[in-house]
Structure 1
């Protein structure tokens, strides 16, 4: 009996020790995850971690499918058609994208994807979205998931209001968590290697302040390896983008572009987890086909 208990303890301890990082992605639209799909792919496939995705809108406002109209046999640039068919079509496309990335669980909030705008106030005030519902659901997901990291989009001023709101919802949800075991929240976007983009904070939203101590973390998905260096992780990003056929305009413009998946470390995380996050990205670069 004593030997059996010891073996069981060692087995459980090994499982706990060997478990990879757990990540929750919080985004506004299906296809927002194309900002950092390779990071997710490497977490789930090569670091043996897990990733879940919380999608805030129903995706019904994405009338960007000129070529997709032929593919699906309906006019996906028409608002009436889009409102009826896009929510289901885009969920199916997100499942395709999630299969590539290795997403384990999807959480759909189905808030209205109304129109392109910049001001997040109507959403955060509960005028356009059911804010109380979103907050309760996010709180429960975070409590049950016990995540190490939360990924959202950088809520910069030029971004869609939905993007900003989803990221602020994620930041506020982590702030509401009790205890010390809160996930690290990172704001991501894909950029070219010669980027000049900077971000410090979205005005009037102090929770979006970026740490001045932490570096900008990144993964270079263009790094070549294999025979004659003909291989790179850019292909994974293209696989994910290709799933989003209803967004044929945006995806065509972004295909095989954006060499870096960059991540900003929010100030609400504090300084104690900066080294942990550095190690995480080192492990990411060293896993699978090393990109160093």
Structure 2
């Protein structure tokens, strides 16, 4: 009975009688948000919440636009051309993506998007990025934003070092907070039959997942409306289509990944697991309800 009452209170709160959930997304590259765009869309459009996005890199290393080179009239697979034009082009693409998702504020950190690698240590140690600047800026954003949730990418071993570093920066910033702390979640899109699992990134204890918490999810492929031909997959496709400079990656990911999945970090403690579970229940029941 207590759980039902809490669920009703959350539902009433998030459906417009009071302010909806406040969310900060922390990612490394423009297009990283394509891992969970339907969740953000539902928060901002259907739960009447707000979402801001902190982008750590300048996006200058994304030489993935073979078809986009024709679209933009520039050889975006060439490093010299890319370093010159990609930062501005990718910011514009992120603004397009953000308009669809309902992003309120963008915070650009403009750290170098140097090259693909796996080790986050050179970045966290300040050898490649200005970590002191990043820490101060994240601290300020979190303090002023008073967020309920922070969403980053799950920092698994096979991920780009930039992804891992951005997520660790977000985790450490939440840890540093003195007052009410938001729940921080690590997200990624997966197929329904996924076998992926995550426990912790070795050598970074702040990335440990609370083993007793479920993996939260939103099924963006669930059909509704006339002949069940509608789903929130279209939102993900709209967002992916904004990132034209990344035409290779976006082409291969279009209309794939039915689930937007979220891992609950141990630093949140166990007291907010049930609240987070109910948050996702409300999310799934907002707008056009899904399972």
- Same fold? TM cut 0.5: yes
**Cα shift readout 1:265-286 (whole Å, capped 9, x = no counterpart):** 0000001110110110000000
Distance, in Å, in 2 between the alignment partners of 1:16 and 1:237 is 25
Match of 1:76 in 2: 76
Match of 2:248 in 1: 249
Count of residue pairs the alignment pairs up: 279
Q: Secondary structure at the match of 2:103?
A: coil
Alpha-carbon deviation of 1:14? 11
Q: Secondary structure at the match of 1:152?
A: strand
Distance, in Å, in 1 between the alignment partners of 2:278 and 2:46 is 15
Do the aligned partners of residues 235 and 84 (structure 1) sit closer, same or farther apart at CA in structure 2, a change above 3 Å counting?
same
Match of 1:48 in 2: 48
Highest Rg: 1 or 2? 1
Match of 1:231 in 2: 230
Match of 1:67 in 2: 67
Q: Secondary structure at the match of 2:61?
A: coil
Match of 1:36 in 2: 36
Do the aligned partners of residues 15 and 144 (structure 1) sit closer, same or farther apart at CA in structure 2, a change above 3 Å counting?
farther
Establish whether residue 260 from structure 1 lines up as the match of residue 259 from structure 2. yes
Do 2:65 and 2:248's aligned partners in 1 also have CA atoms closer than 8 Å?
yes
TM-score (normalised: structure 2): 0.94
TM-score (normalised: structure 1): 0.94
Q: Name structure 2 gaps, 5 residues minimum.
A: 1-12
Q: Secondary structure at the match of 2:99?
A: helix
Match of 1:188 in 2: 187
Distance, in Å, in 2 between the alignment partners of 1:14 and 1:259 is 24
Q: Secondary structure at the match of 1:104?
A: strand
Distance, in Å, in 1 between the alignment partners of 2:168 and 2:227 is 44
Match of 2:92 in 1: 92
Moved beyond 2 Å, runs of 4+: 13-17
Distance, in Å, in 2 between the alignment partners of 1:15 and 1:50 is 13
Do 2:28 and 2:55's aligned partners in 1 also have CA atoms closer than 8 Å?
yes
**Cα shift readout 1:228-283 (whole Å, capped 9, x = no counterpart):** 00000000000000000000000000000000000000000001110110110000
Establish whether residue 177 from structure 1 lines up as the match of residue 177 from structure 2. yes
Distance, in Å, in 1 between the alignment partners of 2:112 and 2:129 is 7
Do the aligned partners of residues 70 and 15 (structure 1) sit closer, same or farther apart at CA in structure 2, a change above 3 Å counting?
closer
Match of 1:278 in 2: 277
Do the aligned partners of residues 36 and 140 (structure 1) sit closer, same or farther apart at CA in structure 2, a change above 3 Å counting?
same
Distance, in Å, in 2 between the alignment partners of 1:212 and 1:70 is 48
Distance, in Å, in 2 between the alignment partners of 1:15 and 1:69 is 43
Do the aligned partners of residues 287 and 16 (structure 1) sit closer, same or farther apart at CA in structure 2, a change above 3 Å counting?
closer
Distance, in Å, in 2 between the alignment partners of 1:48 and 1:279 is 16
Match of 1:3 in 2: none
Match of 1:200 in 2: 199
**Cα shift readout 1:90-123 (whole Å, capped 9, x = no counterpart):** 0000000000000000000000000000000000
Match of 1:210 in 2: 209
What's the Cα RMSD here?
Answer: 1.3
Do 2:29 and 2:57's aligned partners in 1 also have CA atoms closer than 8 Å?
yes
**Cα shift readout 1:144-185 (whole Å, capped 9, x = no counterpart):** 000000000000000000000000000000000002x10000
Q: Secondary structure at the match of 2:144?
A: helix
